[in-house]
Amino acid sequence: MSTYRSDFLAILAERGFIHQVSEPDALDARAKSETITAYIGFDCTAPSLHVGSLLPIMMLYWLQQTGHRPIVLMGGGTTRVGDPSGKDESRRMLSDEAIDRNLKGIRAIFSRFLKFEGEGGNAVMANNADWLNRLNYIDFLRDIGRHFSVNRMLSFDAVKLRLERQQELSFLEFNYMVLQAYDFVELHRRYGCILQMGGSDQWGNIVNGIDLGRRMLNAQLFALTSPLITTSSGAKMGKTAAGAVWLNADLVSPYDYWQYWRNTEDGDVVRFLKLFTVLPLSEIARLSALKGAEINEAKKMLATEATALVHGRAAAEAAAETARRTFEEGTLAETLPTVEIARADLERGLGVLVAFAEKAGLVASNSEARRQIRSGGLRVNDRTVADEKMILTAHDLTAAGVIKLSLGRKRHVLLKPV
RNA sequence: GGGAGAGUGUCCCGAGCGGCAAAGGGGGCGGACUGUAAAUCCGCUGGCUUACGCCUUCGUAGGUUCGAGUCCUACCUCUCCCA
């Protein structure tokens, strides 16, 4: 790949964010000579963003850090339609209320990464519902629809895949790319936005927007996509047994978030340090020289830095300290996730099954707890539970006044009587 | 409108002569080994139950049977062929 002269593209390139760029030289020149405005769209399909969305967020972060203007586009309108890209099946239709609720949850995350207008920054938060919701169908067809060739739309991967696999693609979803293209044009009109970024699966959609911009406004627009990030062993990022790794603290605690990064595979550490932390590359180069068990130092760095970005420095260091005491010293850290239980329950005697399943929520059901006991996976105060009929009482309280329940080596919950 | 086929364990894929809690994968979880890694090996992977066992599951609703994922009828959804 050519070397970029603008700070923005140079940084994205050396940190591994770039998969494809349209007209890289022209974009580089503009990013070098002027302040450019770029956007990324975010779906409102869930109440929070998860780790998978972190990559685009980081691209906006670097955009602003290198002197440009980021636009976060909330898909309040497009989420009502549903993007067929990369999906085998139609998505379930979300109610407008659900979308609205999700939108609010997602919004909060961005203030960690970007400085918005009114907060001493220049970032813009937009919502495509503002223009999509009031479109008039016939007008839209005449103004926008005439620029689209169905022949060409059928050739895009997102559509082709569905057709080839003989899976249904509704007319509703078929229109998604038209709406997304229109978003780009609308953002160009409103904010002078010239660049849309996104994951590699968005390339087709973005290019549609570029075409539309040229036809309607004779504008030169650009596309930049990031690679699909998978772990070295091929798994998609952001999924664990417990579900997605959400960015909101009420869905995934800072401690669990820290743990997620701490458990990164060896082969991914350097790549992730570049993508998901803002550590200087020189520092990352130093960490990448570590070998064998020393790589754990790099993983801790990754975990703490990545957590600090999302949850703040203090929460990140608290999580690191909790982990250090739990894993390295083997002592009890009172800052482990804690569940309060009624003191009366304890005096009456609390069955282990209930304690693990209902109270701590470490396992999904009593049956699951039984199975785990049979395979030696449950521990109370670091002693393996051998008997599923075991009863917890006040005698099991440690000096710190809690009972430590563990599932496997890594997952711990403290029961605290109140 | 006519004809043919498909829908299986609510993570996915996928077998299933009328006796099935239902083969086999993948994924996930636990154990061993390690470095809170990877790879490898072993176990588990519907719910309730101390247990005998009970309950809920194969697109939906009925029916035939001692007994139905398996047979019949209707309906729903998706494919394909003809019009």
Lowest mean pLDDT among A48-52, A156-160, A171-175, A189-193: A156-160
Give dist(CA A205, CA A198) in Å, integer: 10
Strand B close to A322 by CB, under 7 A: no
Check residues 37 to 66 of chain A and report those whose beta carbon is under 7 Å from nucleic acid strand B.
none
What is the rounded average pLDDT of the residues A103-116? Answer: 87
* Separation of A241 CA and B11 C1' (Å): 10
Q: Does the nearest atom of strand B lie within 7 Å of A299's Cβ?
A: yes
Which band of pLDDT confidence, cut at 50, 70 and 90, is reported for residue A164? low
Give how far the C-alpha of residue A180 lies from the chain's centroid of Cα atoms, to the nearest Å: 21
Does A240 contact strand B, using a CB cutoff of 7 Å?
Answer: yes
pLDDT tier for residue A238 given thresholds of 50, 70 and 90? low
Residue A116 has pLDDT above 60, yes or no: yes
Question: What is the CA A276 to C1' B31 distance in angstroms?
Answer: 33
Inform me whether the pLDDT recorded for A161 exceeds 90. no
What secondary structure letter does DSSP report for A111? Answer: T
Q: Is the pLDDT of residue A369 over 80?
A: yes
pLDDT band at A262 (very low <50, low <70, confident <90, very high): very high
DSSP track, A151-218: HHHTTSHHHHHHHHTT----HHHHTHHHHHHHHHHHHHHHH---EEEEEGGGHHHHHHHHHHHHHHH-
A389 touches strand B (CB under 7 A): yes
Please tell me the predicted confidence (pLDDT) of residue A82. Answer: 61
Strand B contact at CB of residue A328, distance < 7 A: yes
CA of A350 vs C1' of B21, distance in Å? 31
pLDDT higher than threshold 80 for residue A285: yes
**Bases along strand B below 7 A from a protein CB:** 27-32, 34-39, 43-51, 78-80
Q: Residue A241 has what pLDDT? A: 45
Residue A231 binned pLDDT confidence (cut-offs 50, 70, 90) = low
**Are A353 and A388 in contact, with CB atoms under 8 Å apart?**
yes
Closest nucleotide to residue A166 (Cα to C1')? B79
Grade residue A232 by pLDDT with cuts at 50, 70 and 90.
low
Instruction: State the average pLDDT over residues A374-387.
Output: 89
In chain A, what percentage of residues exceed pLDDT 90? 46
Whether A122 has a pLDDT exceeding 70, the answer reads yes
Residue A312 vs residue A169, higher pLDDT: A312
Name the nucleotide with the smallest C1'–CA separation from A169.
B78
Q: For chain A, how far is it from start to end, CA to CA, in angstroms? A: 61
Percent of chain A residues topping a pLDDT of 70:
89
Strands A338-341 and A411-417: parallel
Q: What angle do CA A48, A13, A206 make, to 5 degrees?
A: 55
Nucleic strand B under 7 Å from the C-beta of A7: no
Q: Which nucleotide does the CA of A268 lie closest to, via C1'?
A: B37
Quote the pLDDT of residue A414: 92
DSSP code per residue over A266-334:
GGGHHHHHHHH----HHHHHHHHT--GGGHHHHHHHHHHHHHHHHH-HHHHHHHHHHHIIIIII-PPPT
Give the model's confidence band at A92: pLDDT under 50 very low, under 70 low, under 90 confident, else very high: very low
Q: Is the predicted pLDDT of residue A89 greater than 60, yes or no?
A: no
Whether CB of A234 is under 7 Å from strand B: the answer is no
Query: In this predicted model, what pLDDT tens digit does every residue of A304-351 receive, in sequence order?
Result: 999 999 999 999 999 999 999 999 887 777 788 888 898 988 888 888
Say whether the CB atom of A387 is under 7 angstroms from strand B: no
* Closest nucleotide to A290 by C1' from CA: B35
Which of residues 149 to 188 on A have a Cβ less than 7 angstroms from any strand B atom? 166, 168
Tell me the average pLDDT of chain A: 86
User: What pLDDT shows up at residue A88?
Assistant: 41
pLDDT number for residue A84? 54
Residues A336, A320: Cα–Cα separation, whole Å = 11
- Report pLDDT for A176: 82
Nearest to A21 by CA among A225, A202, A175: A225
Checking if the pLDDT of A91 tops 50, the result is no
